[in-house]
Structure 1
Amino acid sequence: MTFDYRSSVSIGELCIYSSALIIGIFLAARPGFGRNWGWFYLILFCLARIIGPAMQLSTLHGSPRASIYEGYAILNNVAISPLELVILGTLNRLLDSIHKTYNTFLRTFMLQIIQVVVVLGLILGVVGGVRAGNSFEEGNASGQHVFHPGPLGKAGSILLISCYVAIVIITALLSIFKSHLEAGETRLLLAVVLSLPFLLVRLIYTGFSTFSYNPKFNILDGDTTIFLCVALIEELIIVIIFEVTWLTLRRQVKEQHNKARRQIDSSNGSDPTQPKRGKSTGQIALGFAKATIFGHLVMLFVNRSHARSGVEMQARRA
C-alpha cells in the first residue's frame, strides 16, 4: 500500500496522543488525584489511540495480516467506552464532593451500574469485532477492506449509546446540587457538560459505522475526512477539556492547601501575613550543640534543672 490521506491522519494521532498520554500519566501521578479513578481509563484511551494508528501504518509495508485490520477496526469501535468511563469517574468524584455537605438521593452504586454496563459494551464490542474478522478475511481476499460488526458488536454499541443517555441524566441531576460542591470542583462539572455534545457526535459516527452499510462510514476504508471531523476531532477535544481542567484544578487544590495552612498558623498565634524568618543564631547554635555528645550532656543538665525548678514551684504553691 502507498502512503495516503489516512496514513497522514494516523501519524497525527501518534504525535498528539503520545503527548496526551504523558500529560495523563503526569496528572494521575500527582497527589490529590487519587479520588478520580477515571484517569486510568483516559490513559487506556490514549494507548488505544496510539496502538490503532500504529496498526494502520503497519499495513503500508508488505502484505499485512487480516488480524492487523481487525485490531485497528476494533480499537476504533470500542474507543468510545474509555471516554464514557472517564466521565463516570469524574461524576463519581463530584458526587462524593456533594455528599460531604449535603445528602442527595443519588448514590455511588448508580454510577457503578452504568460503569458495569459500559465495560460489558466494551467486551461485546471486542468479541463481536473478533467474530466479524472472519467475514473481513473473505472480503480481503477479493481486494476490499470491509468490516461490518456482527450482532455482538451491534449489541455493544447499543449499550454504549444507552449509557450515554444515563450519563446525561446523572449530569443533569448533579447540576441541581452544584451549589454544594467543594471549591474548585465546579469546573469538573463544567468539563463534563462541555464534553457531552462532542461525545454525542462521536456516538453518531459509531452508530453509522455499526448499523449502516454506507461505504463512507466504513471504519477501514471509509471517507477519511468524515472520520477525522466526526470522530477523531471530537475525541481529541474531550481529552483536551479534561486534561486542561485538571491542570487548572491542581493549582486550585494547592491554593486551598496554602489557605488551610495559613488558617492553622493563625490559630496557633502566628501571623500568617508575615513572612517566615530564618533561624536565629541562637537556634542554629542550639541545634549544633544537640548534635554533639557534649551538647547532649549540657541539655540533659538543663532539662533536669528545669524539672527541679518546676517541682519547687509546685511545692511553694501547695
Structure 2
Amino acid sequence: MNDIFVADLIFYLILLIPVHLVAWWHGWPGFLAWYYVVIFCVARVIGGALGVHDSSSLAANIIVGVGISPLVLAVDGLLHEARTYRHPDRNKVVGWLFIGLTTVLMAVALVLAVTGALDIYEGHPKSDSLTHYKTGVGLMVLTWALVALWASFSLLPSQSRKDGTNYQGGTTLIQGVFLALVFVGIRVIYQLIAVCTQRKDLNSSTGSLAVRVVLVFLPEALSVLSMLFVGFQTRNIRKDSKRVGGAYPLLESTPTA
C-alpha cells in the first residue's frame, strides 16, 4: 500500500472542515481561492481513497501526478482577493482578464497532461503521449510563473492604497500568496523534472517514499496550510470593511472574532 494515499485521504478529509469555514468567512471576494482549495482537497480525498483500495489505481496515480492544477488556481484566486482589498478602487478588468488567462492555460495544461498520462500509465503510449504530458506540465509551471510575476507586480505602489480600510488585511493575504507560491513552485517544478527525465526514482507513483513525501505531499500540504493560516488571520476582513487601519499582521496574534 502506498502510504502517501493514506496520508492524502486522512489529511485532506480533516482539512475540508476548516477550508469550508474560511470560505464562508471570506465570502464572495475570496470565492475563487477557496473554491479551488475545496476542489483540490476533494480530489486528494478521492485519489487517496482510490489509492488505499488499490495502490496501482490509474485514476489515483494520475490525480497525484497532475492534480496540482487546482492549487495553482487557488493561489491565483487568493492573489485576486488580496488585490481587491489592497486597492479597491483600481480597474478590475485587468485583474479578471488575468484570471481568465490563467484559467484557460491551466485547462489546456490539464487536458494535455491527463491525456498524455493516461496513455503512459496504461502502458500503451502513443507517439505524442509523452510530448502532451510534458507540454501539459510545462504549462502548469508557466501558469505558476505568471502568478508569481503578477504577485510581484501587485507590490508596486501603484497597485495599492495604503489609506484603504482593508489594506493591512490585503497585505496579509498577499504575504500568504508568496508563501504558498514557494511550496507550489517546488511541486510543479519537481513534476516537470520527473516527467521530462522519466526517471522511476523521481516518479510520483514509483519513486521512493522520501521523494513522494518531500516533493509531493509536503509542498502541497504546506501550500494549503499557509493559505488557511492567512485566511484565518483575516477572517474578519469583510466585517471590518469600515475599520480604519485594521491590523492583520502575518505572524502576530489573530484578530478577535
Per the normalisation by structure 2, the TM-score is 0.82
Q: Would you say 1:163 and 2:143 are equivalent positions?
A: yes
Q: Kindly tell me: are residues 259 and 178 of structure 1, through their superposed partners in 2, closer, same or farther at Cα, counting changes over 3 Å?
A: closer
Which of structures 1 and 2 has the bigger CA Rg? 1
C-alpha separation in 2, matches of 1:47 and 1:22: 11
2:34 maps to which of 19, 30, 39: 39
Deviation per CA, 1:268-317: give whole Å up to 9, x if none.
Answer: xxxxxxxxxxxxxxxxxxxxxxxxxxxxxxxxxxxxxxxxxxxxxxxxxx
Shift in Å, 1:44 = 0.9
Matches within 5 A, 1:203-222: 203-222=188-207
Question: Distance in 1 between the 2:92 and 2:237 partners?
Answer: 26
2:53 aligned with 1:58, yes or no? yes
Aligned twin of 1:12: 7
Map of 1:247 onto structure 2: 232
Residue range with higher mean Cα deviation, 175-184 or 221-230: 175-184
Contact 2:76 2:147 in 1 (8 A): yes
Does 2:173 correspond to 1:173? no
More helix by share: 1
Q: In the alignment, which residue of structure 2 is the partner of 1:224?
A: 209
Distance 2:92 2:7 in 1: 44
Which AA in structure 2 matches 1:43? V
- Report the equivalent of 1:202: 187
Q: 5+ unaligned residues in a row in structure 2: which ranges?
A: 245-257
1:135 maps to which residue? 123
Question: Which whole-Å CA distance do the structure 2 matches of 1:136 and 1:72 have between them?
Answer: 18
What residue identity is the alignment partner of 1:89? G
**Which residue does the alignment assign to 2:253?**
none
Alpha-carbon shift at residue 13 of structure 1 (Å): 2.1
SS in 2 for 1:222: coil
Aligned with 1:219: secondary structure?
coil
CA contact (8 A) 2:51 2:57 kept: yes
How far residue 99 of structure 1 moved from its aligned partner, in angstroms, is 4.5
8 Å Cα contact 2:36-2:74 kept in structure 1: yes
Q: Matched residue pairs, number?
A: 235
CA contact (8 A) 1:73 1:129 kept: no
Q: Residues 10, 21 of structure 1: CA spacing in aligned structure 2 closer, same or farther, 3 A cutoff?
A: same
Seen in structure 2, the aligned counterparts of structure 1 residues 175 and 59 have a Cα distance that, compared at 3 Å, is same
Is contact 1:77-1:206 (8 Å) kept? yes
1:154 corresponds to 2:139: no
Q: Which has the higher contact order (CA 8 A, sep 6+)?
A: 2
For residues 228 and 107 of structure 1, do their structure 2 counterparts lie closer, same or farther at Cα, with a shift above 3 Å needed? same
